[in-house]
A and B are shown apart, each in its own frame.
Chain A
Amino acid sequence: MASHPGSLAQQEARFGWKTVAPSLLLIALLIVYPVAYNLYLSFFEVKLSGQNEFVGFNNYFDLLSDRAFYDSLTVTVIYVIGSTLGTTLLGLGVASLMNHEFPLRGLVRGLVLLPYIAPLISEVFAWQFIFDPVNGIYNHMTVEVLGISDERVNLIGTPGNALLVVIIFDIWKNFPFAYLMILSRLQSINNDLYEAATLDGATRWQRFWHITIPELRFVVGAIVMLRFIWNINKFDEVFLLAPNVKTLPIYTYFTAFTGTIEQGLAAAIAVVQFLLLIGLIFLYIRRVLKW
């Protein structure tokens, strides 16, 4: 064997390919194929009978001249920016608080995680019940007990408020993720840095700004990116809580499965969303994170 180093290397390479082959196959099957098939569909008028008709870029032209698409894009941008910023900032704030010593800290740290780990559907029902215009506790409190408002409102149902409610719901549900990641990073910052800064006369704020924030930079960067990806693609939360908030995934769903069912057009929306996501992430990594 030792006398044929080339063949050994070849054998190793072959063995290497064999070991990764199952994963490659799975990735191809579960990720590459659906993406490619979706791209393919976006150039067709999809008929339920299976006889699709090639229409070139027509779906894309239709999309770009559709006012509802731009509305949906605007809603998505507001939703993603609002929820990403909200979860990150709230997570940062709560993590900073939880980093201090106080009695029952372990218990409180655990409780903070609850919204993140509780089943989504039960949370949605609870929220819908809380905000029910006639029987919900929210209207009962604001109108009858506190008298802040003299009119009962359907906060989730009314389109003007629904976007705000969905953003707040997302922040409430997902901030523990940011909190968890930031807290674990906070705990690993070397205390010597703070002590040295204190000796140099740095104020509390200066220590936070010049030590904590730079140390957290990559964690926060990663959180923002992950939340960004997840929230652009977010379907379940929005659809269950308030399907009248038409973010891109919801708009795609309605296009594909309701009204004049147009699955080719829906595929085109998905492609645009995909490109948008890739482009923004590329920019983000290059410009903001400078990786």
Chain B
Amino acid sequence: MRKLIIILLATSLLWIWQGSVIMAKTNISFWTTETQSERMKTIQLILDTFEALNDDIQVKLIPVDENDLPTQMAAASAAGNIPEVIEMGSELAVTFGSEGIMDFGAHEAVINKIGRDDFFKGALQLTTSPSGQAYALPYHGWVQGIWYRADWFKEAGLAPPTTWYNILKAAKHFNNPAKNKYGILIGTKPEGFAEQVFTQFAISNGAREFDADGNLVFNSDAMRETLEYYKELQKYTPPGPQTWRARDYYLQGKMAMFFYSTYIMDDLSLADVAKGSLTGENFDGLGGVGFDSNLVKNTKMVSSFKNTQDSSYGVIVTLGITKAKSASKTSAAKRLVRFMYEEDAYVTFLHMAPGGMNPVLRSMAQSDKFMNDPKGIFKHYGKDKISEIIGGLDHLQKFEIVEGKMFPASGEIFAQKIIPQMIYKTIFEGVSTQAAMDEAEAEMRKIINK
């Protein structure tokens, strides 16, 4: 009995000692919005490599759905355990930065180490505060556009959807609910997707949240006109509130146009990736369809369209470092972020979603390693198209940036889904256009006056 106790005691002491050796490592956590298991595996691989090269640091990878990120951060900061490094959209970086959570100094240091001039100016602008500080580091980005059935358009003799008039005309033409075919997909569920689509329409009509002096000018004639147009267009989408998921209907040949980011490029060209969106194999009776290998040929994309002015929209995803509890954590976080920009790590990351994740460093955009993606997706589209898409990241238009000036409140307005709520209410809850806009404007004022 006595022996047993001694052995137990000894092993537990050894265990505690071992534990303290492990404790000597600096632990940091990394939140990512890439929640799919395949992407998680790739990121874990990058982090494992980083840990192998830096054996004093341990990184814990935590996936967080991008729609839940503000909620999760609110909960984490209330509990006092926010992550050290976050991968997130630039709007959220701006929001968290304005709330005083992000470590501007750490960002500046890493940007300077990488070389400020190597970053696309447009991308950097979206993550820089009005006083010139970095809310986060731009990491990768995508461009939004209207993807459409070029073959159907040609057959019907319709012009590409490059103007409000063309878009509406084509949506009306192809919409045929009786045959279970629809004209266009725009976002109407109160989620981020609705705001992304709506923003491009608003900007193409010259409607803004702020003017160059920082006055809230949301409730304008141009914005009302945009919302009215959006409601009209909604009549030609599949029934009920819809979000990005309805892009499946396009892959199934049931829709003529849809708004989407360049993330769709692999679904269009690779049967394996598209499988999740098709119903043919499992439900014959439902009139499902198999993979259409001609779809990639028959699909074209316009990334810019206009009513009164041209508009292009996209999202920059950033890496942000939070104000950590200790200097060693900050230093570990900086080393991790710096590592993420090294060619091998960076290209590995970007190749998780060729087309969707595009580099924000000039040097990387021209790198052969990047252009040679493992699934050969870039080949389907050609180097010119890819370069055009990446080039788009340099002149994105968003509500946050007015005449080169940054308005952080816009990021919070995005995070709080005020515009998607407005769209949902006026389309599905019978609130009038004006009342919905007034309500949205009042919510925006609350944020500004906080």
Contact = CB atoms under 8 A, between A and B. Distances in A.
Interface of A: 48-50, 133-135, 137, 140, 150-154, 156-159, 244, 257-261
Interface in B236-255: 238-242, 246, 248-249, 252, 254
B240 A158 contact: yes
Contacts of B242: 157
Contacts of B78: 48, 50
Nearest to B74: A48
Interface of B: 70-71, 74, 77-78, 99-100, 177-178, 180, 182, 189, 238-242, 246, 248-249, 252, 254, 279, 283, 285-288, 416-418, 421, 424, 428-429, 443, 446-447
A48 B416 CA distance: 15
Contacts of B180: 134, 152
B249 A134 contact: yes
Most chain B beta-carbon contacts within 10 A, residue among A135, A140, A150, A157: A135
Nearest to A260: B446
B239 A133 contact: yes
B71 A258 contact: yes
A156 B428 CA distance: 12
A91 to B, nearest CB: 32
Contact of A154 (B239, B286, B424): B239
Contacts of A140: 285-287
A5 B177 CA distance: 87
B286 A135 contact: yes
B150 to A, nearest CB: 22
Contacts of B71: 257-258
A257 B417 contact: no
A247 B338 CA distance: 47
Contacts of A137: 286
Given A150-B178, A259-B421, 6 more contacts: A50-B78, A134-B246, A135-B283, A152-B177, A159-B428, A261-B74
Nearest to B447: A260
Interface residues of A, dominant DSSP: loop
Nearest to B71: A257
Contact of B416 (A133, A151, A260): A260
B74 A135 contact: no
B430 to A, nearest CB: 9
20 contacts: A49-B99, A50-B78, A134-B246, A135-B288, A140-B285, A140-B286, A140-B287, A151-B239, A152-B177, A152-B180, A152-B239, A153-B239, A154-B240, A157-B239, A159-B428, A244-B428, A258-B416, A259-B418, A260-B443, A261-B74
A48 B95 CA distance: 13
Contact of B417 (A151, A244, A258): A258
A152 B180 CA distance: 8
A48 B239 CA distance: 39
A130 to B, nearest CB: 11
Contact of A259 (B100, B429, B443): B443
3 closest Cβ contacts across the A-B interface? Answer: A154-B240, A157-B240, A133-B239
A171 to B, nearest CB: 22
Contact of A151 (B177, B241, B424, B429): B177
A259 B428 contact: no
Contacts of A157: 189, 239-242
Contacts of B416: 258-261
Contacts of A154: 238-241
A286 to B, nearest CB: 39
A158 B189 CA distance: 10
Given A152-B180, A259-B417, A244 B286 contact: no
A153 B240 contact: yes
Nearest to A156: B240
Nearest to A161: B240
A254 to B, nearest CB: 9
Contacts of B287: 140
Nearest to B78: A48
B241 A244 contact: yes
B238 to A, nearest CB: 5
A153 B182 CA distance: 13
Contacts of A150: 178
A144 B414 CA distance: 41
A132 to B, nearest CB: 9
A128 to B, nearest CB: 10
A137 B279 CA distance: 12
A133 B238 CA distance: 7
Nearest to A151: B177
A150 B428 CA distance: 21
A285 B167 CA distance: 62
A159 B429 contact: yes
A94 B18 CA distance: 60
Given A153-B240, A257-B71, A260-B446, A135 B417 contact: no
Contacts of B421: 259
B417 to A, nearest CB: 6
A40 B189 CA distance: 35
Contacts of B283: 135
Contact of A135 (B99, B241, B252): B252
A49 B100 contact: yes
A135 B279 contact: yes
A259 B319 CA distance: 24
A40 B6 CA distance: 50
A133 B417 CA distance: 25
Nearest to B255: A134
Nearest to A160: B428
B446 A48 contact: no
A135 B78 CA distance: 42
B241 A134 contact: no
Nearest to A262: B446
A49 B100 CA distance: 9
B254 A134 contact: yes
A49 B239 CA distance: 42
A136 to B, nearest CB: 8
Nearest to B445: A260
A156 B242 CA distance: 11
A152 B181 CA distance: 11
A224 to B, nearest CB: 32
A190 to B, nearest CB: 52
A137 B285 CA distance: 9
Contacts of B77: 48-49
A257 B68 CA distance: 9
Most chain A beta-carbon contacts within 10 A, residue among B239, B252, B287, B429: B239
B195 to A, nearest CB: 13
B409 to A, nearest CB: 12
